[in-house]
Amino acid sequence: MIRILNFFCFAFVALSCLALYQVSEKTRLAEVSLNETNHAIAAQHSAMSVLEAEWGRVAAPARIQRLAETRLGLSDAPAVELSSLELLPRRGESAPLGNSNVRNASATAPQPRDPRIRLAAIHTGN
C-alpha cells in the first residue's frame, strides 16, 4: 500500500515538476514579450514627449503670427468688441438693441498686405 502511495506521490511530484517547468517557461516568454512591449511603450512615450515639445514650438504664437503675416497677408485684427451677444434682438422684441446706446465703430479693419488677396477681393467684387 505504501509503495503504491509512494509511486503516486512521486508521479505527482514528477507531473508537478513538468507543470512547473511549463508555467515557468511560459512566464519567461511572457516576461520577454512584456519587456519588449514595455520598451516599445517607453520608446513611444519618449517619441510623444518629443513630438509634444515640437508641437509646442511650431504652434508658438510668435511663429503663427509670422506665418500669418508672410504667407496669408493677415495682420493684427482690431481686437475691439463692438457689441455682444446680449445685445442681439430676441425673437419678437420691438427694441432690437434693448434700448442700449449703439456704439459707433472706432476701429477699422486693416487692409490685407498681400497683393494677391487684394486682387482676389477685386475679382470677387468685394
Contact 41, 67 (CB under 8 A): no
User: Which stretch in 67-75, 96-104, 112-120 sits in contact with other proteins by CB under 8 A?
Assistant: 96-104
**What is the identity of the amino acid at 50?**
V
Residue matched to cell numbers 503675416: 69
Does residue 106 sit in helix, strand or coil? coil
First to last CA, the chain: 108
Cell of 19: 507543470
108 counts as binding other proteins under rule CB under 8 A: no
103 counts as binding other proteins under rule CB under 8 A: yes
35 counts as binding other proteins under rule CB under 8 A: yes
Among 61, 92, 115, 125, binds other proteins (CB under 8 A): 61
Contact 115, 72 (CB under 8 A): no
Residues found near other proteins in the complex (CB under 8 A): 9, 13, 16, 20, 23-24, 27, 31, 34-35, 38-39, 41-42, 45-46, 49-50, 52-57, 59-62, 65, 76, 78-84, 86-87, 98, 100-101, 103, 106-107
